[in-house]
């Protein structure tokens, strides 16, 4: 990038030290957890931005986007950089718009809606909300680090989704303001259904600058582990908790052996060969859980109160996509898929996958509610990687037997499972970023539309 551009950017921010160019810093701010994928790793490791800017308010965001537009410089927005598919890796250099300093919680309304800046960390919001009788409806297992804006733009759901669905469901994302990359950038309010034009679009069609995020009344939670001789027993037990509305729950996870052996800090809670369930349920249902587990042939090996994100052990640290991290730590050969099994056919689907792929695929189930209110066995299976072709065969086979796959081994939106078939994210990009400067290369249908 021309040094005049760096000087120009420095003059826009109140403090020029918030324009960063040190190579090691740029390298760090250019990457996320894309290396989870052996397919994305070689493609993205050498991709870097050229300069990072750290605005502290929306006026600075407007000024940076105006400057970038005038000079046709790409802009890649970054929250905390915990994405898994290289979402915030700049493919064409340019500016990294690091929003980590825009981290104010403005208020929690009496109706339980948090109003905040995008860089606010989810863990801080959970802690603040619980002090006031509220809590996050759902959060990724990266709670401590991930930002609200990054979750909305790059995530999908997590702990809490078994009751409250994903981010796009049940009006959880009430509204946000978006800064556009038009000739003259504007701040546009999206509320109600229009949030879906921008939600999970990886910062390709606007920069979220202020967010209204609905919370749930806080619950006194208990975390528990239950172990079973077989995966079938553990699955059926957890399914019965997840699907029965009588249980108040935040997490219903199942692992088959050897996945629990990867969790070195809590490995003592399970014996060799057993399958394991991790649960968060209302504290006053703890005795009932113990009885239900015994009746299902299992044993509760740990039960302790959840006291907020700093609780130790924090069982959510082993769930959702943290499970893959533990597997990769145990053996770098492992990677993962993101699947949705059929509630009625899942046992048959498990059987077919085992028959075709043996222990190349290890079952890790996360029960979650879908947008129709049905609790389904979502899954982030651990996969032993051999070749990209074999991985693609597994994905194709899953789809052929009715298992939904959001492919985490591509870094463009359209294959990732959250791209809207009605193309409203694409239409918003055509409107808000007609020159294609926001996170270029991540919404490939936009480029197709331009070149046709
Ligand atoms: C160990 C591990 C576990 C995970 N578990 C989960 C999980 O349970 N559920 C889940 O959904 N995800 C999960 N993820 C993925 C990721 O942590 C979450 O999606 C997280 O919420 C991303 O937040 P972030 O602030 O790090 O976003 P970033 O990685 O910084 O950004 C994500 C995307 O959003 C864009 N973006 C960021 N901020 C803005 C903004 N203000 N406006 C517009 N675009 C923006 C970026 O350009 C990028 O495309 C996991 C990842 C890891 C490494």
Q: Which of 34, 100, 137, 140 to mutate to test ligand 1, by most ligand atoms within 8 A of the CB atom?
A: 140
**Ligand 1 lined by 298 (C-beta under 6 Å):** no
Please choose from 62, 95, 99, 146 the residue to mutate so as to test ligand 1's pocket, defined by most ligand atoms within 8 A of CB: 146
Q: 326 CB less than 6 Å from ligand 1?
A: no
Is residue 451's pLDDT more than 70? Answer: no
95 close to 65: Cβ distance less than 8 angstroms: no
For 294-314, the pLDDT digits (tens) are 999 999 999 999 999 999 999
pLDDT, tens only, 332-364: 999 999 999 999 999 999 999 999 999 999 999
Beta pairing class for 75-78 and 95-98? parallel
pLDDT above 70 coverage of the chain, percent: 98
The protein residue whose alpha carbon is closest to atom 50 in ligand 1 is: 321
- What's residue 415's pLDDT? 79
Cβ 49 under 6 angstroms from ligand 1: no
Residue 425 Cβ inside 6 Å of ligand 1? The answer reads: no
Query: What is the per-residue pLDDT for 450?
Result: 47
* pLDDT of amino acid 448: 44
Candidates 34, 150, 315, 379: which one to mutate for ligand 1, based on the most atoms within 8 Å of Cβ? 150
Yes or no: say if 157 and 167 are a contact pair by the CB < 8 Å rule: yes
- Rounded to the nearest whole angstrom, what is the distance from the C-alpha of residue 248 to the centroid of ligand 1? 27
Q: Which atom of ligand 1 is the closest one to the Cα of 198?
A: 43
Q: What is the 3-state secondary structure (H, E, C) of the chain?
A: CCHHHHHHHHHHCCCHHHEECCHHHHHHHCCCCHHHCCCHHHHHCCCCCCEEECCCCHHHHHHHHHHHHHCCCCEEEECCCCCCCCCCCCCCCCEEEECCCCCCEEEECCCCEEEECCCCEHHHHHHHHHHCCEEECCECCCCCCCEHHHHHHHCCCCECHHHHCCCCCCCCEEEEEEECCCCCCCEEEEEHHHHHHCCCCCCCCCEEEEEEEEEEECCCEEEEEEEECCHHHHHHHHHHHHHCCCCCEEEEEEECCCHHHHCHHHHHHCCCCCEEEEEEEEHHHHHHHHHHHHHCCCEEEEEEECCCCCCCCCHHHHCHHHHHHHHHHHCCCEEECCEECCCCCHHHHHHHHHHHHHHHEECEEEEEECCCCCEEEEECCEEECCCHHHHHHHHHHHHHCCCEECCCCCCCHHHCCCCCCCCHHHHHHHHHCCCCCECCCCCHHHHHHHHC
- Terminal C-alpha separation, the chain: 30
Nearest partner of 199 among 209, 208, 210, 189, judged by Cα: 208
Work out which ligand 1 atom sits closest to the CA atom of 159. Answer: 8
* 146 CA distance to ligand 1 middle (Å): 6
61, pLDDT greater than 50: yes
Tens digit of each residue's pLDDT (9 = 90 or more) over 371-423: 999 999 999 999 999 999 999 999 999 999 999 999 999 999 987 766 777 88
pLDDT recorded at residue 417 = 64
Instruction: Classify 342 in phi/psi space as left (phi over 0), alpha (psi -120 to 50) or beta.
Output: beta
The torsion defined by the Cα of 148, 149, 155 and 159, in degrees rounded to 10, comes to 10
Contact 395, 337 (CB under 8 A): yes
Q: Find out whether 308 and 250 touch, Cβ atoms under 8 Å.
A: no
Contacts for 441 with CB less than 8 Å, ≥ 6 apart = 91, 92, 412, 447
- What tens digit of pLDDT does each residue of 215-246 get? 999 999 999 999 999 999 999 999 999 999 99
Per-residue pLDDT of 186-202, as tens digits, reads 999 999 999 999 999 99
Residue 119 scores a pLDDT above 80: yes
Nearest CA to ligand 1 atom 49: 202
The number of the ligand 1 atom at minimal distance from the alpha carbon of 78 is 30
Ligand 1 centroid distance, CA of 289 (Å): 33
| Ligand 1 atom showing the smallest separation from residue 151 Cα | 21
Residue nearest to atom 31 of ligand 1 (CA): 150
**Which whole-number Å values give the CA distances from 206 to 186, 340, 436, in the listed order?**
10, 29, 11
CA distance 244 to 198: 33
- On the question of pLDDT at 129 being above 80, the answer is yes
Q: Is the CB of 208 under 6 A from ligand 1?
A: yes
Averaged pLDDT for residues 97-101 = 98
Model pTM score = 0.96
Residue 428 has pLDDT above 60, yes or no: yes
* Ligand 1 neighbourhood includes 178 CB (under 6 angstroms): no
User: Does 81 contact ligand 1 (Cβ within 6 A)?
Assistant: yes
Tokens in use for 306?
């959840």
Q: Does the pLDDT of residue 449 top 90, yes or no?
A: no
């Amino acid at each position: 990038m021309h040094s005049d551009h760096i000087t120009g950017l420095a003059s826009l921010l109140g403090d020029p030290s918030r324009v960063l160019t040190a190579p090691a810093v740029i390298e760090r701010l250019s990457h996320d957890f894309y290396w989870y994928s052996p397919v994305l790793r070689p493609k993205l490791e050498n991709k870097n931005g050229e300069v990072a800017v750290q605005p502290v308010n929306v006026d600075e965001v407007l000024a940076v986007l105006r400057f970038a537009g005038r000079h046709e410089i790409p802009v890649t927005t970054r929250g905390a950089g915990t994405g898994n598919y290289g979402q915030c890796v700049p493919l064409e250099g340019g500016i990294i718009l690091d929003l980590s300093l825009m981290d104010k919680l403005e208020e929690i309304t009496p109706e339980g809606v948090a109003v905040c800046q995008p860089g606010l960390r989810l863990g801080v919001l959970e802690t603040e909300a619980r002090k006031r009788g509220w809590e996050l409806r759902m959060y990724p297992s990266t709670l401590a680090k991930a930002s609200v804006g990054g979750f909305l733009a790059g995530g999908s759901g997590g702990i809490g989704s078994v009751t409250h669905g994903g981010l796009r469901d049940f009006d959880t994302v009430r509204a946000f303001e978006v800064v556009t990359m038009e000739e003259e950038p504007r701040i546009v309010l999206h509320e109600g259904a229009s949030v879906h034009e921008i939600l999970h679009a990886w910062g390709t069609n606007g920069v979220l600058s202020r967010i209204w995020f609905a919370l749930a009344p806080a619950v006194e939670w208990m975390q528990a582990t239950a172990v079973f001789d077989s995966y079938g027993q553990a699955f059926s037990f957890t399914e019965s908790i997840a699907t029965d509305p009588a249980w108040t729950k935040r997490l219903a996870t199942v692992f088959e052996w050897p996945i629990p052996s990867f969790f070195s800090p809590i490995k003592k809670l399970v014996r060799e060969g057993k399958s394991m369930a991790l649960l968060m349920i209302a504290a006053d249902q703890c005795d009932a859980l113990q009885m239900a587990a015994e009746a299902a042939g299992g044993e509760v090996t740990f039960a302790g109160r959840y006291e907020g994100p700093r609780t130790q052990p924090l069982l959510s640290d082993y769930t959702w996509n943290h499970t893959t991290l533990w597997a990769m730590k145990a053996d770098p050969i492992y990677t993962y898929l993101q699947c949705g099994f059929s509630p009625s056919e899942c046992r048959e689907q498990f059987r077919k996958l085992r028959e075709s792929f043996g222990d190349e695929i290890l079952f890790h189930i996360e029960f979650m509610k879908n947008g129709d209110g049905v609790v389904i066995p979502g899954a982030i299976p651990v996969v032993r990687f051999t070749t990209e072709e074999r991985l693609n065969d597994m994905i194709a086979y899953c789809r052929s037997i009715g298992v939904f796959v959001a492919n985490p081994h591509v870094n463009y939106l359209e294959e990732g499972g959250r791209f809207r078939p009605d193309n409203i994210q694409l239409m918003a990009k055509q409107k808000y970023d007609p020159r294609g400067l926001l996170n270029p290369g991540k919404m490939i249908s936009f480029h197709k539309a331009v070149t046709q």
